[in-house]
Amino acid sequence: MAFESFSAFLKMGEHGLYVWLAYGLATIVVLFNILGPRYLAKQLVKDHQRKLRREQA
Amino acid sequence: MWQIFVRWFHKCSSPKWFYQMSKPWSFWLGWAAFVLIGVALVWGLAFSPVERVQGNSYRIIFIHVPSAFLSEAIYMTIAIAGAVGLIWRIKLAFYVAKACIPIGMTMAFLALATGAIWGKPTWGDWWVWDMRITSMLILFLLYLGLWALHNAMERPESGDRAAAILALVGVVNIPIIKYSVNLVTTLHQPATLKFTEKAPMHISMLVPLLLSILGFYLAFLAWMFIRARLEILKRERKALWAQKEIEQLGGL
């Protein structure tokens, strides 16, 4: 371990703000890349269902 | 022999064949990426020693370098796939190129943003108009341009071709990014990882960095296949097999 306590780990020796800000942004980018395709898939299914309804009517 | 190769090539480039083949890929690539990045970040954040000059801020390297590497590698993938699509008129290559754009854009954004955050405690400023940083900003703008071209065209086929041409023109920027830190003296340090030399980095920092880079590459592949498969369904939605797959997707 490079840190003596958990609070020292969070503090990152005065650089906590920078390190955690960077890792927070990385988390947002990962979430975008996971949730983005899910949204696309939902749109695809919705468009398909709409088309089916139109054909039945 | 050549005949067999051509037949194989055409089979692989059929969207339907690719869709059926690639079903399990993203799942396994995604899990492998998750494990690799998890190990790398726990190691890099908590176990790697403090850097002598920069203190703990250097720990940003474990996401900064992988995202920067990927933003360039993804751009090259888009350009090569676009060229394949233009030359051999292969639809699948265009779909793959399009699937790469949002991922590459987020990686370029992450490289720039983490660089700015790292720059503040290290160089004293969030942003400098340094050659490396400016050429990375141009890369991000190229991604925006590719995305905008796809959205601007009424026919998706025109978007494919226009984006492929822009991607090929923008390849000029890649060697500029790569050599900007070695040719000109700037604030950004020269490349740490080189194929030709031993890395000037202690093993306790180097291993998590390499694991993280590998993990980011696998995550990119997982996300790329998911997006490419959705693009296939969207573009082939007139075909019966694609409609059946969409119904399975929605659990109809």
End-to-end CA distance of chain A: 67
pLDDT bucket at B209, cuts 50 / 70 / 90: very high
- The C-alpha atoms of residue A8 and residue B46 are separated, in whole angstroms, by 10
Contact: A2, B49; criterion CB under 8 Å: yes
Q: Name the residue range of residue A41's domain.
A: 6-56
The percentage of residues in chain B with a pLDDT greater than 70, rounded to a whole number, is 98
**CA B209, CA B215: separation in Å to the nearest integer?**
10
pLDDT tens-digit profile of B16-27? 999 999 999 999
Which chain B residues contact residue A3 at CB under 8 A? 46
Within 13 Å of residue B31, how many CA atoms lie on the same side as its CB? 4
Residue B250 predicted with pLDDT over 90: no
- Greatest Cα pair distance in chain B: 62
Residues with Cβ within 8 Å of B92's Cβ and at least 6 positions away in sequence, in order, are B13, B14, B15, B18, B228, B232
CA distance B161 to A21: 38
Q: What is the pTM of this model?
A: 0.92
Structural domain includes residue A21 = yes
Q: Does A18 touch chain B (CB under 8 A)?
A: yes
| Residue A37: closest C-alpha in chain B | B227
- Number of cross-chain residue pairs from A and B with Cβ atoms under 8 Å apart: 98
Residue of A nearest to B100 (CA): A33
How many structural domains comprise chain A? 1
**A39 assigned to some structural domain:** yes
Q: Is residue A1 part of a domain?
A: no
Which tens digits make up the pLDDT trace of B84-130? 999 999 999 999 999 999 999 999 999 999 999 999 998 888 998 88
- Contact state of A2 with B47 under an 8 Å Cβ cutoff: yes
User: Cβ of A40 and B230 within 8 Å?
Assistant: yes
User: Chain B, 108-167: which have a CB under 8 Å from a chain A CB?
Assistant: 109-110, 113-114, 117-118, 120-121
For residue A30, give how far its alpha carbon lies from the nearest alpha carbon of chain B (Å): 9
Name the token pair of A50.
Answer: 């709409």
Judging contacts by C-beta atoms under 8 Å, the chain B residues touching residue A49 are 250, 252
- How far CA B85 is from CA of A21, B79, B95, B97, B246, in Å, comes to 40, 10, 9, 9, 25
Q: Considering chain B, what is the average pLDDT of its residues?
A: 92
Q: Kindly report, residue by residue over B32-91, the tens digit of the pLDDT.
A: 999 999 999 999 999 999 888 888 999 999 999 999 999 999 999 999 999 999 999 999
- Helical packing angle, A16-56 and B61-88, nearest 10°: 40
B43 touching A, CB under 8 A? no
Residues of A in contact with B113 (CB under 8 A): 22, 25
**Nearest alpha-carbon partner for A18 in B228, B244, B122:** B122
Closest residue to A22, CB basis, from B117, B233, B250: B117
Confidence (pLDDT) at B251:
60
Whether A43 maps to a domain, the answer reads: yes
Environment class of A50 (CB within 10 Å of its CB; exposed 0-12, middle 13-18, buried 19+): exposed
Mean pLDDT over A31-57 rounds to 93
Query: ipTM of this model?
Result: 0.92
The answer to whether position A34 is within a domain reads yes
